[in-house]
Amino acid sequence: MRSAALLAAAAPLSALAHHGQPHIPRIYVILYRGETPVEQGFREYLAERKLEAELIVRNVELDASRVPALLAEARALGVDLIYIGPDSFLAFHRHLLTQAALDARLPTYAATEVNVRRSRAMFGLVSGYHQLGRLTAHKATQILYHGVRPDAIPIETLGSFSYLVNTDVAAQLGIPLPKSVLQRAELIR
């Protein structure tokens, strides 16, 4: 589950931000209207593992002009991390969103590759678009060339993910990256 990956990836950065002091992380989740499964997934994951984190969920309501105000609110609330979910509206407005987060001096975790590779999100654990394209082509081939009914094809997820870290953004925010992150992540500049 992606929320599990988020918390695992964010843990070292959250700890650094508070110099090892006990702290309940505050995650600001930006969604478009109606995307409640993401919020529900976060809350279930936290509850199942008895992890403390405060989720602050805001809907952008498909109005990009709200983004700067939402990020200013996140800054005022003292959040530790901005979560950019996996939807096309946020991906389309990725430059506005990630720049507003940088202006507010807040690190961003992106659920999609484009926000890290082609914008200014700080990090993400993502399924690569190339891998996703290959899986999609495989499914289409099963239907179009082998006559398999769509309802007979099992639902699959990609088996591998890339841990992307934009080192320029981390440096701009003054967040030192632990050696373990530098060794495991694909570093983006």
Give buried/exposed letters for 45-56 (b at 16+ CB in 10 A, else e).
bbeeeeeebebe
Tell me what the mean pLDDT of segment 66-83 comes to.
94
Residue 14 pLDDT grade (very low, low, confident, very high; cuts 50, 70, 90) = very low
Q: Tokens at residue 59, please?
A: 């809907």
127-140 confidence digits (pLDDT tens) = 877 787 888 899 99
Domain ranges of the chain: 2-126+162-188, 129-158
Percent of the chain with pLDDT over 90: 47
Q: Which one is predicted more confidently, 72 or 155?
A: 72
Percent of the chain with pLDDT over 70: 87
Q: Is the pLDDT of residue 5 over 90?
A: no
In this structure, are residues 10 and 109 in contact, taking their beta carbons and an 8 Å threshold?
yes
Q: Is the pLDDT of residue 105 over 90?
A: yes
Tell me what the mean pLDDT of segment 162-185 comes to.
91
Residue 12 pLDDT grade (very low, low, confident, very high; cuts 50, 70, 90) = very low
In this structure, are residues 42 and 29 in contact, taking their beta carbons and an 8 Å threshold?
yes
Lowest mean pLDDT among 19-23, 82-86, 120-124, 156-160: 19-23
Q: Is the pLDDT of residue 174 over 90?
A: yes
* Per-residue pLDDT, 87: 82
Query: Phi/psi zone of residue 105: left (φ > 0), alpha (ψ -120 to 50 degrees), beta?
Result: left
Beta strands 81-84; 54-59: pairing state: unpaired
CATH 3.30.70.920 fits 2-126+162-188, yes or no: no
Q: Tokens at residue 135, please?
A: 């899986």
Q: Is the pLDDT of residue 54 over 50?
A: yes
* Per-residue pLDDT, 143: 92
* Per-residue pLDDT, 2: 46
Burial of 174 (0-12, 13-18, 19+ CB in 10 A): exposed
